[in-house]
Amino acid sequence: MEIGIDSFASAMYGDNNTLSSVDAMEQLLQRIELADQAGLDVFGIGEHHKKEFLDSATVVILSAAAARTKNIRLSSAVSVLSAADPVRVYQSFATLDLISKGRAEIVAGRGSSIEAYPLFGFDLNDYDALFKEKLDLFLQIRDNEFVTWSGKFRPAINNLPVYPRALQEKLPVWLGVGGTPESFIRAGSLGLPLMVAVIGGQTHRFRPLIDLYREAGKAAGYKPEELKVGLHSPGYVGNTTEKAIEEYYPGYAELWTKLGYERGWPPVTKGKFDGLIDDLGVLIVGGPERAAEKILRHSEALGGVDRFTFQMDNAGLTHTQLMNAIELIGTKLIPLIQKG
């Protein structure tokens, strides 16, 4: 199993939120650099268009990271393909692939944060249709140097080439999904690896949806080994489980209570948090042994997970705490995962 980290390039953590955007970006790049040195497999950068995040130009951050790393794979988490031009998205990631010498990946999705749609002039009523059409174009560009294509939301392309081409023969494209059955079936039918974002509740409840993905892939003629499953969840690794909970809970409660106010969810309580960090809950918060044990349990419950990524930098943790967590993941958690 591959282990990595996803970041939304938060500019609002630590020191009473007084960190400058310049310093936040530099510290993020330092964390990616350390993740590479510590042996993590992948680092993903999200896409938002909000004041508290610095990840609106995902590939620019990943390209800066590419120049400072050697082995770690560099991915989006996710790219909001629905609100972008697939030609430019492909060109950006192909360029990243050249800079990184073949380490670029993309996780494409519709986006659970919807601010990109009005910003770029798209109608939320077309939420799914936009993604379906643009994913089709993106995959055609990835697989063909010359493209002929027509659709509803973008001008047609008539036998035109798209450059540059990625270094990798087939640029990895994961499909980022939440809880919509159609999204799981779509990924399986296309034979694309699946990245499941589980941010609340109990992880095992996604097993029926992942089964739909595997069934759709099998029906479309793909081999089981082609149908990879990734799991993205909030979490944090501390020196001990007690220390991890002590450091993680205050910022997590503050952030998710704020999000809940915006989205109509109830406030976070310590009791609810304790349920999320128990054996079946989604949050991977603990010492290396506890975290590794829970990741392996989730993998078994879902029928096998090929990649797990932590979302850590949105819970009020300091740069020093995040750096320590990365070190623990590389030196202690990954060896435990490898042992199984």
- pLDDT tens digits along 180-217: 999 999 999 999 999 999 988 999 999 999 999 999 99
pLDDT of residue 140: 98
Average pLDDT over residues 86-97: 98
Sole residue written with tokens 């996803």: 6
Residues above pLDDT 90, as percent of the chain:
87
Query: Please, which pLDDT band fits residue 257 given cuts at 50, 70 and 90?
Result: confident
Per-residue pLDDT for 115 more than 90? yes
Per-residue pLDDT for 12 more than 70? no
Q: Which of 296, 320, 326, 319 is nearest to 308 (CA)?
A: 296
Per-residue pLDDT for 121 more than 90? yes
Whole-model pTM: value is 0.95
Query: Please, which pLDDT band fits residue 15 given cuts at 50, 70 and 90?
Result: very low
pLDDT of residue 259: 75
**37, exposed or middle or buried, with CB in 10 Å at 0-12, 13-18, 19+?**
middle
Per-residue pLDDT for 118 more than 80? yes
Per-residue pLDDT for 232 more than 50? yes
Mind listing the domains of the chain with CATH numbers? 2-339 (3.20.20.30)
Average pLDDT over residues 240-245: 97
Query: Please, which pLDDT band fits residue 16 given cuts at 50, 70 and 90?
Result: low
pLDDT, averaged across the chain: 94
**CA–CA dist 31, 13 (Å, integer):** 14
**CA–CA dist 253, 273 (Å, integer):** 8
Q: Which of 151, 207, 155, 164 is nearest to 184 (CA)?
A: 207
pLDDT of residue 295: 98
Q: Give the torsion sign (CA, 300, 301, 307, 311).
A: negative
Length of the chain: 340
Average pLDDT over residues 140-147: 98
Q: Which of 68, 87, 90, 115 is nearest to 262 (CA)?
A: 115
How many Cα atoms within 13 Å fall on the side-chain side of residue 300?
Answer: 10
pLDDT digit string (tens) for 271-287?
Answer: 999 999 999 999 999 99
Query: Please, which pLDDT band fits residue 17 given cuts at 50, 70 and 90?
Result: low
pLDDT digit string (tens) for 21-75?
Answer: 999 999 999 999 999 999 999 999 999 999 889 999 999 999 999 999 999 999 9
